[in-house]
Structure 1
């Protein structure tokens, strides 16, 4: 493969869906763009597009390459602008993955302020509770909760969350309030079923200096955190969920925290990056915004 031109031709064709439109954007001819893409396919040994007389669409191999290509070309644009000393504003598309509820409740206000400070910045936010592959999915960064397992990623801890055991006042009036860990067995349990494995997530506690893990017999199983909170508000049992999911319900008196002295240690929240190399401006301003999050030091 010779230089970046085949990648540029491929990426623009993928964006526009035709060789003719890509050629107009690049100032060339459709045949030149098509030949450049064909040379790229030959050098990689894969077909990148399904071709018809009217349009071209990405193959699965083409989709994977396009996600990575978009990030690489965007970073090259940033580096060129930095080298020329012309970047006065932050632009491009920030591609970020985050857990659903944390993304909605905590991250979205931070990103809103970031976009207002940098009007030329665009956001591609993917909310999901399963882990994304940063390189395969072409992501700039991802938000991860808990201890990190993948040592290949570069991580910066910027926040933390607590797991709270909660129940509704109506449930407690009917069933009584557990005052010790050994009293939990007599209560209904709303448990989280992990989307990745289908297994029940254990409840975590601390008894003095000792960590305690319990697998309660579930009366309700839910694979969504907000669904667990809704079930708890309705009085279906006890639930253990992150504090950011229930802080509003507790403030409204819909839920009560139980056994606060048995809370487990706070879980770290980190932003992970695919590499420690020079980060483009859009990633640098994200990191700065996360470090400056309101209330971060008190969590």
Structure 2
């Protein structure tokens, strides 16, 4: 049992999840760091008195339940859930298989839902908690080669935005983090699966896109360690932001999407406003 803020972090063995776990520990919090392979998580983070490492494959609801029970058993509560675990299925829609698209949504959308289902009863009982979900600028604005990924991230946005007022009366807050390009491991071979080229019409753009993204790996502008520190700071606010644009490129994405929506609303305002049913 502890009187410290208790964080449960998915995908904590590498990438942003690892940085968030480290930042939370440095800030004096207790951390339940989870991953598919707990040995890799322990090796990455090291030993710490306020650390519990446990197995969690987010696509397995039973894993989520077991991990939350372990957190309660060790620390007595859960204050912050960070839904971070993820991967990337990239490619043109027609070349992505139905199985790849389902796998993407299973991990990025249903996975966080599985963990939230396990945590929310605990937070409701406490009458407090923060559900913090790592989304993406791809959840704000879609883009070529990201049909599966953006579909899952747009789903995250709609789910959390709708869930927020349902759980607010219990003292539970939500926070969506939308990173732009950060120097994580998302574009590495361990995290990214490209669609198998099969349609000649897409061949040239596929080659150009994969070459560009492969060249970007390890050179992205954002520093995940800085983002992790920012996330820990924001999570400590009495009223964390409902959305956080992570990175200058994310701010630009927010601004561009806002302008686009306003322009689209204005483009056919008269027609849009003329569709009411007039009863006799």
TM-score by length of 1: 0.24
Q: In proportion to residue count, which structure has more helix?
A: 2
> So what's the TM-score if we normalise by structure 2?
0.25
More strand, by proportion? 1
Which of structures 1 and 2 has the bigger CA Rg?
A: 1
